[in-house]
Amino acid sequence: MKLLLVTIRKRAGSDEVSKRETILEGSEIHIGRAVSMEICLPDIGVDYQHATVEMRDGKLMMKAAGVGGIKVDGADRDEADLGTDSVKIGRFTFRGEPARDGADAVMVMEEAAAAEAPTHKRRGKRQLENVLPSRRMLAWVFSLTIIGVFLGWPMYDVMQREAPASEPIVVEGMARTDVPKPTIMEIAWTSGPISQAHSMIENDCAACHQRPFEMTTNNACLACHATTQNHADTAQHPVLSLENSRCASCHKEHNGGLEPTAVAETACFQCHSNIQSVSPNSKFPNITDFDVDHPPFKLALVQTVEQADGMLEPQVQRVTFEPNKPLIEQSGLKFPHNKHLQAGGVKSPRGMEQLNCASCHEILPGGKLMRTVDMERDCARCHQMTFNAAGIERTLPHANEDEVARILENYYIAAALEGGVTSETAPEPVKRKRKRRIAGQNTNEQRAVALSDNDRGIAIEWARREALVQMDTIFGVRLCGTCHEAQKFPDEAGVERWRVQPALIQRQWMVKGGFAHDPHKAMECTSCHEAPKSERSNDVLMPDLASCQSCHKGSDEPDGARAECVTCHEYHIDSREPMSPEHAEIFHARASERQQSPKQK
């Protein structure tokens, strides 16, 4: 057989077709992958020997030879007539054509473009770029998510809140309860926990943040704190920065704790480092920091003016505490601290007793001031007000001269009338013993009857004299005079009476600085107050500025104790006008309304 093979190749991706004609001879033509085949199909899907082609009964027949088989219209066949059928082997298609050019038969082989080479599958996904979403896309996703969740969502919540009116409002009673609680995303906007002082408005964001993207206004603060006093007398010292200052520039909320923290050191120095620049008439000294140029303390000391009745009238004067110049004030007392604190103790009714500061002094609740010393409670444990005559002890009242005089007189009159007094200086009628009293009758009457009028006069005169002598001892030396200054002074009737000077004790020497004892508890009292060395009660046992500065080293000193202005001084001064007269007016109007309304009912 002589076979004319027409090979038609289509190139991938182009219309170009190549056509080649070859003459093959042999009784059987072999088709397969092997190079030894007459028709070699270099395709892995083709068997080593796939098929044979032969002429049988004038027809060009193809017969399957390998395991792959041949396909006609998609169906597997063992044999096919190429004259009528078109056979597929892999990507090759075979069909017959009428014989020509001297050949016994003509077979056309069309080769389709090779499928994608298997190696291409291996390429592709070897890099992260191929398997992960792009970083640009992720950046968009993350950013938009955050904008949506952390900006959009809470902002929506904020917009839902009703903004209060902007004119002055004064809130009555407690916080609003009808406001919706802040949502979880609204909470994500807060910069820290609210302080306990504001816990009742914790859920009412709009109470302070009245309008979105507006800093908290003074109006919001004043709604509750309507009567808060101003810092300075603005009528006398018009200071622009005071009028325009925001509450929140000093009071920082969202820091937790008991109350909003007051941050004022820089704000204070803004004006007080050169106070005349904002208030030309001010007489305040300028200050830049506590440890630099704080003026010496000015203490409110008790000075006295003697009155016509001999009593001392206290007059408080503020006196500058210069270093090395001891402060003296008039107390009307004779109290040596050193004797009371001496080592080994002092004599007491219970034997020797070692005293210390706490024996008489204690911090008042509130932690600031000390309790004033109280005679009955603190002194009388040792200094008992007892008057002892003829073996009978009597307790005299404190701070009541007339009553003491009366008790003494009564005592001696009674003794004189009863008789039997053993004193050698006593007159005879007083020494004389009386009859026994008759049961059921008034004793004094009974005895008085027993004395003659003359004797009775002698006895009473003696008793009065004796009482006066005793009073001289008690007031002047033994009891009152131990501690107080006391003197005799004629009363309106011209009778000389004992007058004891009451103690003039200053409760608070530093009136402009809010010193608190509580935070200083860990210290020894004597590290500030030199009581063990003080011999006189007139000594003012206050520490000076340098003593404070040894711990409070200035606002910029990290190791020191706190030394901001507000550590000791108040910004809102009690005696000043309210910061916002409008708010205060509304507040007071409401208060008087409330007072009147129950009466109407």
Partner 1 sequence: MYVQTGFLASRLWLWIGILISTAALVAYFAHNPPQGRDGSTIVGYGLGGLSALIVVYLSWLGVRKRRFASSTGRRRNVVSAHVFLGLALIVTASLHTGFEFEWSVHTLTYVLLMIVILSGIWGITVYSGLPDKMGRNVSEMIIEKKRHDMTDLEQLDEDVEEIDRKLERALQFLPDAFRPPVKLSLEKTRIGGGLISILSGSSKGCATAKAYDQVREVADQGDWGEDERKRISELVADMSRKRELAACLRRDGRYRALLSLWLWFHVPITVALLVTLIIHVVLVFFYW
Instruction: List contacts with partner 1 (CB under 8 A).
Output: 33-35, 40, 42, 44, 47-48, 66-67, 117-119, 121-122, 124-128, 130-132, 135, 138-143, 145-147, 150-151, 184, 187-193, 209, 213-216, 248, 252, 255, 257, 261-263, 266, 556, 558, 562, 564
Task: State the nearest-atom distance from the C-beta of 334 to partner 1, in Å.
Answer: 44
For residues 251 and 291, the answer to whether their CB atoms sit within 8 Å is: no
Nearest to 525, CA basis, from 364, 358, 359, 365: 358
Task: State the nearest-atom distance from the C-beta of 69 to partner 1, in Å.
Answer: 13
Closest CB to partner 1 among residues 130, 597: 130
H helices, E strands: number in the chain:
21, 22
User: Looking only at Cα atoms, what is the longest distance across the chain?
Assistant: 195
- Looking from the CA of 315 toward its CB, the CA atoms found within 13 Å total 9
**Rounded Cα distance, 365 and 518, in Å:** 9
**Residue listed under structure tokens 């920065």:** 241
**Rounded Cα distance, 546 and 27, in Å:** 129
Closest CB to partner 1 among residues 83, 560: 560
Closest CB to partner 1 among residues 188, 477: 188
Closest CB to partner 1 among residues 184, 546: 184
Nearest to 577, CA basis, from 198, 229, 146: 229
Cα distances from 528 to residues 294, 521, 532, in angstroms, run 19, 12, 11
Cα distances from 561 to residues 370, 555, 558, 567, 571, in angstroms, run 22, 9, 8, 10, 20
Task: State the nearest-atom distance from the C-beta of 130 to partner 1, in Å.
Answer: 8
Closest CB to partner 1 among residues 44, 159: 44
Task: State the nearest-atom distance from the C-beta of 559 to partner 1, in Å.
Answer: 9
Backbone dihedral region for residue 158 (phi beyond 0: left; psi -120 to 50: alpha; all else: beta): alpha
> And the tokens for 7?
């090979």
- Residue 521 exposed, middle or buried by CB count within 10 Å (0-12, 13-18, 19+): exposed
Residue 253: phi and psi, rounded to 5, are -95, 175
For residues 314 and 349, the answer to whether their CB atoms sit within 8 Å is: no
Closest CB to partner 1 among residues 428, 556: 556
Task: State the nearest-atom distance from the C-beta of 142 to partner 1, in Å.
Answer: 4
Task: State the nearest-atom distance from the C-beta of 251 to partner 1, in Å.
Answer: 10
CA trace torsion 523, 528, 530, 532 (10° rounding): -10
Task: State the nearest-atom distance from the C-beta of 208 to partner 1, in Å.
Answer: 9
Closest CB to partner 1 among residues 67, 343: 67
Cα distances from 73 to residues 46, 80, 84, in angstroms, run 18, 11, 12
Closest CB to partner 1 among residues 42, 391: 42
Task: State the nearest-atom distance from the C-beta of 218 to partner 1, in Å.
Answer: 13
**Residue listed under structure tokens 């008057």:** 387
Closest CB to partner 1 among residues 102, 124: 124
Task: State the nearest-atom distance from the C-beta of 48 to partner 1, in Å.
Answer: 5
> And the tokens for 598?
């129950």
Strand, helix or coil for residue 51: strand
Closest CB to partner 1 among residues 418, 557: 557
Closest CB to partner 1 among residues 143, 315: 143
Task: State the nearest-atom distance from the C-beta of 149 to partner 1, in Å.
Answer: 9
Task: State the nearest-atom distance from the C-beta of 188 to partner 1, in Å.
Answer: 5
Amino acid (one-letter) located at 553: K
Cα distances from 252 to residues 260, 262, 272, 289, in angstroms, run 5, 6, 21, 22
Closest CB to partner 1 among residues 114, 591: 114
Closest CB to partner 1 among residues 228, 555: 555
Nearest to 9, CA basis, from 106, 91, 84: 91
**Rounded Cα distance, 157 and 186, in Å:** 7
Task: State the nearest-atom distance from the C-beta of 520 to partner 1, in Å.
Answer: 17
- The vertex-512 CA angle with 509 and 513, nearest 5°, equals 85
Task: State the nearest-atom distance from the C-beta of 211 to partner 1, in Å.
Answer: 11
- The vertex-172 CA angle with 167 and 178, nearest 5°, equals 90
Cα-to-chain-centroid distance, residue 527: 30
Nearest to 521, CA basis, from 388, 370, 377: 370
Strand, helix or coil for residue 5: strand
Closest CB to partner 1 among residues 192, 326: 192
For residues 301 and 329, the answer to whether their CB atoms sit within 8 Å is: yes
Closest CB to partner 1 among residues 163, 184: 184
Task: State the nearest-atom distance from the C-beta of 514 to partner 1, in Å.
Answer: 15
For residues 319 and 297, the answer to whether their CB atoms sit within 8 Å is: no
Task: State the nearest-atom distance from the C-beta of 272 to partner 1, in Å.
Answer: 18
